[in-house]
Amino acid sequence: MLTNDKPLSPSLLRRLSALIYDTLLVIALVMVINGLALAVVSQISEQDVLSPPLVQCLTALTISGFFCVFWITNGQTLGMQAWRIQLVDFEGHRPNMTKALIRCVGATISAGCLGLGYLWCLVDRNKRYWHDYLSHTELILLPKHVKSNRL
């Protein structure tokens, strides 16, 4: 699946499908983390609600933590694994913590600009997002696994 030794780039539809998959996982994880925080807060104080700044902070940390841990460990979130997408740096290696964090911040900026940072891959000759350039990372399409006919 290589052309001129350059891995293929996944289509926007494939990228968005992986993102939807991961979003469902992240929503569940955010609910669990905030639920645990509420249990802790209610045990140490008389409050039965979390303050909005605490919820926002926990949510941001959970989302960035989810993506950074997966990207650093194997270059793929669960959604990316399902859709055969991998995140690599411009040299073809898994991103380090700095690049993963910069990518998280950049992805927020890309989404905050009405999604233009994501749609940029449709016009970019390298099919990269804005946050790819900020973090010096990119998404590549992995080849299909060949199934053997063993009994």
Residue-wise burial string across 26-50, b where 16 or more C-beta atoms lie within 10 A, e elsewhere:
beeebeebbeeebeebeeeeeeeeb
* Nearest Cα residue to 73 out of 95, 102, 101: 95
Write down the pLDDT at residue 149.
58
Q: What is the pLDDT of residue 85?
A: 97
CA distance 140 to 81: 12
- Looking at the DSSP bridge assignments, the partners of residue 86 are 140
Q: What is the pLDDT of residue 78?
A: 97
Rounded CA gap, 81 and 139, in Å?
12
Gap between the Cα atoms of 25 and 51, Å rounded:
24
Domain ranges of the chain: 2-141
**pTM of structure:** 0.86
- 104-144 pLDDT tens trace: 999 999 999 999 999 999 999 999 999 999 999 999 999 98
Low-confidence ranges of the chain (pLDDT < 50): 1-3
